[in-house]
């Protein structure tokens, strides 16, 4: 990764949120094959890459926001269409964690 002289860019990888268990025909109609098992595997790979960049460039330059594990305990708190988190459930916690990392 090439860096401009004097640049102090910062990067934050925000992991994919956990998937709410869908209880309708969305999987077959929309061909949505996301599962928490697949997302966990993808995020493990991303986290490994971010950790490698942290070792090379410093932890303050490459940050990792573990949104997947933040949302996993809140799966059953999803209401309405059973496919989305309510704003108060996760967005407030995610925004707070983002601000903690970024500021």
pLDDT at 35: 82
Torsion-angle region of 10 (φ positive above 0: left; ψ -120 to 50: alpha; else: beta):
beta
Report the distance separating Cα 39 and Cα 35, nearest Å: 6
- Whole-prediction pTM value? 0.69
Cβ-count burial 22-39 (b if 16+ within 10 Å, e if not):
beeeeeeeeeeeeebeeb
pLDDT in tens, 1-26: 455 555 677 889 988 888 876 666 76
pLDDT in tens, 55-101: 998 888 888 999 888 888 877 666 655 566 666 767 788 888 888 88
pLDDT in tens, 28-61: 777 777 788 888 999 999 999 999 999 998 888 8
Tokens of 48: 């490994």
Report the distance separating Cα 23 and Cα 74, nearest Å: 16
Tokens of 41: 């595997």
Average pLDDT, the chain: 79
């Amino acid at each position: 990764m090439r860096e401009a002289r004097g640049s102090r860019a910062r990067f934050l990888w925000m992991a994919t949120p956990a998937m709410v268990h869908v209880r309708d025909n969305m999987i077959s109609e929309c061909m949505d094959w996301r599962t928490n098992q697949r997302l966990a595997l993808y995020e493990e790979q991303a986290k490994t890459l971010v950790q490698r960049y942290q070792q090379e460039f410093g932890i303050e330059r490459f940050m990792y926001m573990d949104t997947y594990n933040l949302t996993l305990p809140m799966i059953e708190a999803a209401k309405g269409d059973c496919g989305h988190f309510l704003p108060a459930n996760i967005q407030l916690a995610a925004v707070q964690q983002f601000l903690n990392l970024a500021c």
